[in-house]
Amino acid sequence: MGFLSNILRDEGGFEYKKAIVETLLTVIDAIPESKELGLTHLCEFIEDCEFTYLSTKILHLLGKEGPGTSTPSKFIRYIYNRVILENSPVRASAVSALAKFGIKLEALRPKVIMLLKRCLYDNEDEVRDRAALYLRILEAEDLQSTQSLVLEEFKIPLVNLEKSLLEYRNNPGAPFDLSTISTVVEEVKPSASTSKPTAAPTAAISAKGETVTAADMYAEALTAIPSFAAYGKLHKSSRPVELTESETEYVVNCVKHVFAEHVVFQFNITNTLEDQLLENVSIKTDSSVKGVKFQGVIPAPQLPYSVAGISYVAFSFENGIYPTGVFSNTLKFVIKDVDSSTGQADDAGYEDEYQLEDLELSTCDYVKRVHVANFQEAWDTMDIEHEVVETYSLSTMKTLQDAVKEISEYLGMQPAEGSEVVGEKKTKHVLYLAGDFLGGIRVLCRARMKVDPTHAVSMELTVRSSSLAINQAVAAAI
């Protein structure tokens, strides 16, 4: 273990460090007497670990095994250091690990509560929410009845929890009770009808035990619509983009679906007015974006109060052209007043419209994130004939960590080799990114960054793929 600990401090990439950590975990699991020594070595490693995945994995182990060691208090300092010094996913994991010490060890509970209260002022809502939840549990009079929320595996499928919370929000009554939620998930079958659109899907688990992702569900729902089925295989669906404030009369967000030669905008619409029924609800989308051609719109026939509906708008573009630009959007519908006493809508209605925020189609909408096990090997074997190299001054980004986050989002690509984390006080950093562009073309990027004396970030971006047009499009996205 001493040998493993020493080589863990050597230079090396993610796969190398991951292999060493997993070897240490194997030793700890096989030889119980080595647990405390092994945990100490791992604590020393995360003091200077650049890889988020490894830090969170070790923190989870510390929360599980640390309270059962002979001197559990020494591990709390290592864990709390992560709350002070690390990025938000690691800070959130550290908060969860601290809570387990507080629940299992009554003598340390007051110190843990004090540390968790400091986490209530974190600038990341995930960290604050976890701290608030664990404080509520630790300070409860009947800790035994609530500690299972932290110590035991959460058996309720998240899709069921989400559904129950939405139902409770719409019809609050007695206090929300987790015990009433089913632990069995029915297979999700998107509606094949275009006349009754459903709300945007979320990830679930099918009756066969298979993971059904949001992307799978989007693809199935779109294929069920005859005009979209002819577009071929769905390449990518974006995250929902909010086009209204959450407190407005009509709440609208949009998911962008990209195919080989088409883009479909899925507008998810909710009517929040109890005294109105909306009919023939559609989106008028205007754009001067070069290279796109309007194909058609599918309206939502009706939108009763608080029931989500969908309207689709489709555009086409030529193969090999990747149009980008801004689309302006107007919600159009027929309003029918609803009698609050009977719930019946008037027979007659009148046309109205509601202006939405603009929607941008970006290069990142054509790129799917993809994990590359060995980035350097993939980079070295990539075709350099069409390599594109550009330099940028990122004047709005004041730190390397900000630059890493923004560039990853702009390009819609997956950081590799743990390069999404920038070490403390570093003035130079290299970010590795991987993605699959429209057409299944693998794209790799290497971004060399540095902070100049004026605290601005400069970057040299190198893009490699088998297509010059794609390399140029990716480089121009910054």
For the segment 139-173, what is each residue's pLDDT rounded down to a tens digit? 887 776 666 666 666 677 788 888 888 888 877 77
- Distance from C-alpha of 212 to C-alpha of 220, rounded to nearest angstrom: 11
> Which tens digit of pLDDT belongs to each residue from 372-409?
878 988 999 998 899 999 999 888 887 888 899 999 99
Name the least confident of 139-143, 349-353, 362-366, 389-393.
Answer: 139-143
Cα(39)–Cα(77) distance, integer angstroms: 13
User: CB within 8 A of 374, min separation 6: which ones?
Assistant: 15
pTM given for the model? 0.59
Q: What is the arithmetic mean of pLDDT over 407-424?
A: 88
For residue 431, pLDDT beyond 70: yes
Is residue 451 predicted with pLDDT exceeding 80?
yes
Model confidence at 81: pLDDT above 50: yes
What confidence score (pLDDT) does residue 190 get?
40
Angle in degrees, 0-180, between the axes of helices 73-85 and 109-118, rounded to the nearest 10: 0
Instruction: Say if residue 245's pLDDT is above 50.
Output: yes
Residue 282, C-beta contacts closer than 8 angstroms, at least 6 positions apart? 297, 298, 299, 300, 311, 313, 331, 332, 333
Which of 365, 296, 298 minimizes the C-alpha distance to 326?
365
Query: Is residue 244 a contact partner of residue 226, using CB atoms and an 8 Å limit?
Result: no
Long-range contacts formed by 281-284: CB under 8 A, 24+ apart: 281/309, 281/311, 281/331, 281/332, 281/333, 282/311, 282/313, 282/331, 282/332, 282/333, 283/311, 283/313, 283/329, 283/330, 283/331, 283/332, 283/356, 284/329, 284/330, 284/332, 284/353
Domain ranges in the chain? 2-151, 236-361, 366-475
> In whole angstroms, what is the distance from residue 153 CA to residue 142 CA?
20
Least confident of 81-85, 426-430, 452-456: 452-456
The architecture of the domain spanning 366-475 is 2-Layer Sandwich (3.30)
Single out the residue of 412, 464, 404 nearest to residue 236, CA to CA: 412
Superfamily per CATH, domain 236-361: Coatomer, gamma subunit, appendage domain (2.60.40.1480)
DSSP category for residue 124: S
Position 244 scores a pLDDT of 92
Element (H, E) at 369: strand 367-369
Residue 393: Cβ within 10 Å count: 11
The CATH number of the domain covering residues in 2-151:
1.25.10.10
- Judged against a pLDDT cut of 50, whether residue 429 lies above it is answered with yes
